[in-house]
Amino acid sequence: MSLLVLASGSHSRRELLGRLGLPFHHHAPDIDETPRDGETPCMLAERLSRDKARALAKHYPHHLIIASDQVASLDNDLLGKPGSLDATRQQLQRFSGRRVRFLTGLALLDTRCGHCTTHLDLTTVDIRTLSPEEIEGYLTKEPAIDSAGGFYMEKMGTALFERIETTDPSALIGLPLIALCRLLREAGVNPLLE
């Protein structure tokens, strides 16, 4: 089996990949995540996942590099990681009672041949109508300033939800495992047979 590398510093993504029972290394890539002019949320999520994988290619020349990136959008506006408590509060206030789209890009780069396969997963989340007290309560318990959307789905963030529509629940956490298993099988790595 080719050695797997997860191009991420995210604990949640490492935990998700660990569910597959395959040995892997992880290495956080250093890329510019600034959206380009005219780039849609779909285009950005796919590009960033590819860029993350390619950023590690020279360090891992005989590996399968897994990379993922997620962006949130509301009313076609691209929403990044809030970065501060105040920005997270504003984002959650804006989401209250609304449907938010989360686009999770996935890339699998085989550095032995340079082939990169991508996948884009769409998850929609209906956020409950949140009172100011609920938003403050969430921010006190779990200030998710470094997460697209301003919440952690794998933790208390689900208390903010009314409903989720997805083909892969792991995508909202940041790594679509169903698609990843398919891409790995296509690359010759079957988690059930390794």
Using an 8 Å Cβ cutoff, are 121 and 166 in contact? yes
Using an 8 Å Cβ cutoff, are 59 and 26 in contact? no
pLDDT tens track for 143-171: 889 888 889 888 899 999 999 999 999 99
So what's the architecture of 3-186 in CATH?
Answer: Alpha-Beta Complex (3.90)
Exposed/middle/buried for 115, CB within 10 Å: 0-12, 13-18, 19+?
exposed
pLDDT tens track for 35-56: 999 999 999 999 999 999 999 9
Q: Across the 194 residues of the chain, what is the mean pLDDT of every consecutive 10-residue run?
A: 87 95 96 92 96 97 96 89 92 96 97 96 97 96 88 89 95 96 96 88
Quickly list H helices, the chain: 11-18, 41-55, 85-95, 132-141, 169-173, 177-186
Q: How far apart are CA 191 and CA 21, in angstroms?
A: 7
Q: Is 33 left (phi over 0), alpha (psi -120 to 50) or beta?
A: alpha
Using an 8 Å Cβ cutoff, are 2 and 112 in contact? yes
Using an 8 Å Cβ cutoff, are 99 and 126 in contact? yes
Catalytic residues: 69
Using an 8 Å Cβ cutoff, are 107 and 66 in contact? yes
100: enclosing H helix or E strand = strand 99-110
Coil/strand/helix, residue 121: strand
* Distances in whole angstroms, Cα of residue 19 to Cα of each of 6, 12, 52, 95: 13, 11, 22, 31
